[in-house]
Structure 1
């Protein structure tokens, strides 16, 4: 099994040493030096207070290597503003752990989970994230015909019918438009989201939760 490569960022050297000690209990984790940051699978960010500035630094780090997915981030902190929860997720944060409850077992679970798409958030931050997603959908996306998945409403209607096995002419009939419009809608979604074909579009919609 390939080890999980972890980069630790902490302005306090004592805090960093503590995290290193916690992670060394796990054989599957390899702790990187600063010079190896480009190869990290997971970034552990540990600061007394984490806000928009620190999160933006995570976002910039993840975007630093073109065409390579950036590392997911686990945050350990004493203070985190719940208003930044959605921004944290957008920056690649998969888990936020209160420092006072950060045991070796909990941290290892968060790091391993980050590589598998799992998340850990305190209950209060979970509620904040759901509320912020609701506001985003209601006030920004829906008025512009968009969904959280990135598909426009008509694109999603088209892809849902493709997933149900309908042909282009049948989709056009159901959506009361021309076959050319169906093809243009689908082509626009595929180009914007980097999708290769109809099957890829359906798979992407399912993976994003847009189709269940």
Structure 2
């Protein structure tokens, strides 16, 4: 039922038509904060705040926090489990969120994040309406964090594939990395607690396996394929 209502609201929002108030499950860091925001939201014709404990009947979940912390992440995780079959978009207002918290919050259903110091109550209502229509709001800084994280994950995937195809070991990669930083075999041997002969053998094996000319060519190749 909630899914059909949400779809209808999305059509109304996109078509510019009036729609029924959006049901909101509101929670905040403290009772005074929650009471104040509840009073404002209740005065808006666009939203309707549900009684505490009515998460499963909500169209959008709103959390207004002093700080995002492990306890609130546990709340998000618990909510995600309860609404697994009928996911509810989550709008979070908080002072800050770390990269690891951001990734977990998104995994647990967060669709929009609003910096508390830069958000007024009208903007919160707008975010709730947008969330109910399937839209997301993220500050530019958080978008950059997400893009960087996705790139890093992609790089790790590519690296794993390259390593599997090439048969490279972690020790060989470390030797190539130190060569790329300008270290000679003696310095690498001392750093890795190997003999210089062992380091030269590792380099020789890599050059031979990849059919390269020399160690410089090996470093350049490793950079080109994304190992370094």
Do they fold alike, i.e. is TM over 0.5? Answer: yes
User: Which residue, out of 61, 76, 94, partners 1:77?
Assistant: 94
Q: In 2, Cα distance between the equivalents of 1:62 and 1:73? A: 10
**Structure 1 residue 28, shift from structure 2 partner:** 2.2
**1:58 aligns to 2:76 (yes or no):** yes
**1:97 aligns to 2:121 (yes or no):** no
Describe the SS at the equivalent of 2:54: helix
Could you report, residue by residue, the CA deviation over 1:10-63 in whole angstroms, capped at 9, with x for unpaired residues? 131111122213323421211011232211111111111113442342132122
From the two aligned structures, give the one with the greater strand fraction. Answer: 1
Aligned to 2:29: 11
Could you report, residue by residue, the CA deviation over 1:155-179 in whole angstroms, capped at 9, with x for unpaired residues? xxxxxxxxxxxxxxxxxxxxxxxxx
**Structure 1 residue 140, shift from structure 2 partner:** 4.1
Structure-to-structure mapping, 1:102-141, within 5 angstroms: 102-140=119-157
Aligned to 2:60: 42
User: Which residue, out of 77, 89, 105, partners 1:88?
Assistant: 105
Could you report, residue by residue, the CA deviation over 1:145-197 in whole angstroms, capped at 9, with x for unpaired residues? xxxxxxxxxxxxxxxxxxxxxxxxxxxxxxxxxxxxxxxxxxxxxxxxxxxxx
Q: In 1, Cα distance between the equivalents of 2:65 and 2:150? A: 26
- Structure 1 unaligned spans of 5+: 145-212
Describe the SS at the equivalent of 2:66: strand
| Aligned residue-pair number | 144
Please tell me whether Structure 1 or Structure 2 has the larger radius of gyration of its CA atoms.
2
Q: In 2, Cα distance between the equivalents of 1:120 and 1:142? A: 32
